[in-house]
Amino acid sequence: MQRQLDWFKKQLFGPKSEKQVFDLPGQDSLFASDDAPVPVQPPKNEKRTVKAYQRGTGKKQRDDDCLNDTGLRFTADVPVEVVEHLPPELTGPEADQYEVIGSKTTFRLAQRASSYVVLKCERPVFRRKGSDKPITTPAPFNVLDNSLADVSLLAGLLVDKFQ
């Protein structure tokens, strides 16, 4: 029995199971300068053309029941509140110096007392008369960048989670 145990110990912990470092005397001169392989150089007159292109991302395919192109999907029973953000340029004393040329719309999902509502924030795009440079009103601040959730929805989710 002792002999079998010694044999198993030798198999597990003996020289067969461990890496051995061999000291090879010719290791530092493995390839002599005459025997060293020479890398093959491609011919220098061979040219290839590479097309330059720019890769973009495709627009997501949205269903017909989407409220907008960002993907909010709600039925008619969810109310939509329109919030207009007018910049001080359009409400100040020099308001007649500007003309509105369009508007940008941002949708956010908000939570009211036991119900949800979609906030449709409309921001005018305008320019000063005599100038071609359009001015866009910045989007309202959002806690999470590129999120459709309003602060009221996030706060409501946290309250509901810990009650």
pLDDT (tens digit, 9 = 90+) per residue, 80-115?
A: 888 888 888 888 888 888 888 888 888 888 888 778
| Residue 12 counted as domain residue | no
More confident residue, 77 or 62: 77
Domain count along the chain: 1
* Domain-located, residue 29: no
Q: Does 124 reside within a domain?
A: yes
Domain containing 95 equals: 65-163
In the numeric block, which tokens belong to residue 82? 């329109």
Q: Is residue 25 part of a domain?
A: no
- What pLDDT score does 4 carry? 92
- Whether 77 is in a domain gets the answer yes
In a domain, 7, yes or no: no
**69 part of a folded domain:** yes
pTM over 0.75: no
Residue 81, Cβ neighbours under 10 Å: how many?
12
Does some domain include residue 16? Answer: no
Pairing of strands 135-136, 115-128: antiparallel
Which residues face 115 on adjacent strands?
112
160 membership: H or E segment, kind and range: helix 151-161
49 pLDDT band, cuts 50/70/90, is confident
